[in-house]
Structures are given as C-alpha cells and as structure tokens.
Amino acid sequence: MSFIIEHDIDGNQRFFTKQEDDLKQLLLNSKRIYKIDHSTLDEDRYGHWDLICYNKNGTSIKIDVKSIKSENFIKDDSINWLEEKNISGHAGWLYGDADYIAFETTKTWIIVKRKTLSDFYDRVLQFRTKIFRNSYNLPFYVRYQRIGNLDIIMKVKTNDLEEISSKILNKKIL
C-alpha cells in the first residue's frame, strides 16, 4: 500500500492512502461537507480514524477508511475483517474514536456507524469465546489471532455490512 504525504499549515505530517483521498473527493462532491482533513499518524494509530469531515452546520465526524480486503492474496470485496484488538493487543479500530467506518468495495463505499458495527460484533460473538490461530480456510464469524501478533479479528461478509450500513455511496470516476 502506498502513502501520500502532505504537511498541514502547522507543519504536521499527514499520511494517507489513495483510497482515503478518493473517498474524500467523493464526500466533498456531495456538497453536504465543506472541508475534510486527514488524520496525523498518531491520530490514525491511536484514535483509529483517517478523515475528519466538517459539515456546513459546524459539526464534524471522524471516519476510518478500510480498503478492499484480500484472502489468499486475491482481492475479494465480499469479505471484510473487524478488529477487536490491534497487533499490539490494544483496543482495535472497532472501539476507536471514529464515528463511522467506510468499507471500500469495487463499486461502492459502505458507510457504517462504528457503534452499530461494534454492537453487531458483540452480538455475533455473544457466546463465542474461543480464539482460532489457524490461518487456512478460516470460517466467518469466529475470533482469530494471527500467529506472532496480539490482535483479535473476525472475518465477516460484506453483505452483512451493507445491511447495517448508514449509507452506501456509489463510486464515481474521479
């Protein structure tokens, strides 16, 4: 994954991906949002958000952007991963500061309230405490920890994210 680097007026470095920039342009074109800033590296790492969007009424929302995922090194937009804990064992982006999570698919952005997503995660895992460490043919909706990491993640179907989404934005050629 390649990063774009820019500096804000205070001299802070901002790192962002092409996917984040594409979503930013799509949101700005919606005319409901007048300004969007990228997170700093610390805001991304510890707050788990990538974009802060300012509405015309003066309120703001934070969005964490998730690109299309791969399984067995093949891009597959029918799956996504939810992160309960990050690779260091700290709270993952599912419990971060973002208001919304934006999941990229080939043709759309699926926008889900982070709280709705964490409630979905908790509901699905209500009676499942086992953590799997096998990396092959991992089933949906089980807790998984990658070997050598302290993370806890779960594979979910993109269709489920669509069902709990707040909005689905069609991609446009930018």
The domain segmentation of the chain, as residue ranges, is 4-170
* pLDDT confidence bin for 5, thresholds 50/70/90: low
Q: How far apart are CA 114 and CA 97, in angstroms?
A: 9
* The model's pTM: 0.84
Q: Where are the alpha helices (DSSP H) in the chain?
A: 18-29, 41-42, 114-124, 158-163
Among candidate residues 6, 92, 72, 82, the one with its CA nearest the CA of residue 41 = 6
For 44-82, the pLDDT digits (tens) are 889 999 999 998 888 999 999 999 887 777 888 999 999
Three-class SS of residue 65?
strand
Instruction: Look at domain 4-170 and name its CATH class.
Output: alpha beta
For 82-119, the pLDDT digits (tens) are 999 999 999 999 999 999 999 999 999 999 999 999 99
Q: Are 158 and 103 in contact (CB under 8 A)?
A: yes
Three-class SS of residue 133?
coil
